[in-house]
Amino acid sequence: MSQLSVEQKEPATDIDGGINAAARALLAAQRLDGHWVFELEADATIPSEYVLLRHYLGEPINAALEAKIAAYLRRIQGDHGGWPLFHEGAFDMSATVKAYFALKMIGESIDAPHMVRARQAIRARGGAARANVFTRLLLALYGFIPWRALPAMPIEIMLLPTWFPFHLNKISYWSRTVIVSMLVLLVCRPKARNPKRVNIDELFLESPYAIGPVPKAPQQKAAWFWFFRCIDAVLHAAQPLFPKRLRQRATDRALSWVSERLNGQNGLGAIYPAMANSVMMFDALGYPETHPQRAIARESIELLLAMHEHEAYCQPCVSPVWDTALSCHTLLEVGGERSRAQVRKALEWLRPEQILDVRGDWTARRPDLRPGGWAFQYANPHYPDVDDTAVVVMAMDRARHTHDDYSASIARAREWIVGMQSSSGAWGAFDCDNEYHYLNNIPFADHGALLDPPTEDVTARCISMLAQIGEAKGEAVARGVGYLRRMQMAEGSWYGRWGMNYIYGTWSVLCALNSAGVDHNEPEVRKAVAWLTRIQNDDGGWGEGGDSYKLDYRGYEAAPSTASQTAWALLGLMAAGETEHPAVRRGIDYLLRTQGDDGFWHEPSYTATGFPRVFYLRYHGYSKYFPLWALARYRNLKNANTRSVIFGM
């Protein structure tokens, strides 16, 4: 990395022009009803599963749509022959098996060069038997591998008491919504229609029916894993002996659970894997296509498609509340009459989206707490998002002095956020005290993402929110700050669970510490500033890759600069009082130099995280509002009498 120059130079490009161009483009992207929503892209897995779901159900072939999805899959294939989890990432077995299967199902010749490369890459790494549990489930549904190759997950789980070591309340919302309908599939053991009779036997090095149990994942602890493996063996042997009436009662409970949370055209959990499983569950139980529940569940999936002229893909979910709240913050920073007017329109869209009447799954830990949060998606009332709620509140608080009074919405959200604080002083994304870490060692949890424990980034956002609305000296903030102090890495950074990665976490925490009144000369702040300035790239930007989530992380590894990560670093440094630091000036110059003619920034890299090491995200909005936010803040601080950031973000 380059040594930063101490020479103070103004950015090479006109900052006002850059801000105005980006603001115009962001305003033009606003929907007529006031909200913003940008595409949310994952890896090859979701679009591949979408194709395979249609063939599983035996639906009429949509050749035009499949051709577009095939074009998308071919474009994102890696140089290694397989498909990665993020842009230019390493080969991933499960993503590659699904992408190959989907392309073959669409009609791609197995002798086509890209298919040969993919097949060779799969076989060179042990074959499709090395795929993860969720891929094994897909292969079992198609009849390619035996059901015994899957971990035992008895549907009687639905009847377990809350004190039992495994209970739905002890796992994350996304795990719950995916697992419950999956339990029905494991009982019914349906088989795909697969009218084209496509198979992928060529991806196995041995007979698919000889596949053994799921191996231990790298992050799983051996003692715990083998303990659970023994239990798994017992359950496999015992399940045929379970009373049929008990099994039926558990199946009915699962159906009732899903039906209550079906969520209309937004789908179960408003995430693709749960939505797809619910459709297959209704199908396995004999519900016809025209049944209202099955029909709406199937319709919800179509709303996830991102359609373009030559390509298409299926999104894992949509992010309207998140995109809208962050766009509001950005435009409030930009200022001006038009920006403020459009923010008012956006906040009026957000106001009725607050969940005030549905007591979601989070009540298992907080039964006396009133609801008051916002979901991430258009609707997901059982699963309000702590992070989204904090960001919405901060936007409303910032706007209420010049716009309508949002005090009632803010007060109700504040009550919910404080109530969701975990015993450690931290906050998780959807639940509190969801820290049953031993469960990540069960054979089913090879992905390592069964739980929703408290994290530094979400905790930081809640502290920022509470401090911004006048509670910087409150007990909840003090406990949260104590947690953040304990969690700082030795190098000076903080972990980013939902954004990539330590740059995101460090930005979040520096904003929180500033809002909470922590002196900028405190050791934690100085170490974080030193870390951010040390990892700046020679081009003036910042970047960090998905490999930063590896289990043997030993410190920052250089990665190409991105606009969103550069913006996070800049916003973090400015929150720490470093507006005049030469690193900030170089970062601002980087953003201005790399801005596109359309006012936005080109960012093919994935800078967000679904599940570390398993599932990554590319928010198409991140390169549209975060860089603009950083530029506008820099201009505002340079023009102000103070260099202090007075807002939570």
Residues annotated as catalytic (active site), given as ranges: 387
Q: Kindly tell me the burial class for residue 114, based on how many C-beta atoms sit within 10 Å of its own C-beta (0-12, 13-18, 19 or more).
A: middle
CA 299 to chain centre: 22
Are residues 301 and 53 in contact, defined by beta-carbon separation less than 8 angstroms? yes
Q: Kindly tell me the burial class for residue 296, based on how many C-beta atoms sit within 10 Å of its own C-beta (0-12, 13-18, 19 or more).
A: middle
Q: Which two tokens stand for residue 595?
A: 């801005």
Are residues 560 and 539 in contact, defined by beta-carbon separation less than 8 angstroms? no
Length of the chain: 649
d(CA 589, CA 585): 6
Are residues 425 and 479 in contact, defined by beta-carbon separation less than 8 angstroms? yes
d(CA 258, CA 180): 7
Element of type H or E holding 137 = helix 133-141
CA 43 to chain centre: 12
Are residues 305 and 27 in contact, defined by beta-carbon separation less than 8 angstroms? no
Q: Which two tokens stand for residue 285?
A: 């139980």
Closest CA to 483 of 564, 423, 547: 423
Element of type H or E holding 40 = strand 40-41
Closest CA to 343 of 266, 416, 406, 414: 406
Are residues 481 and 516 in contact, defined by beta-carbon separation less than 8 angstroms? yes
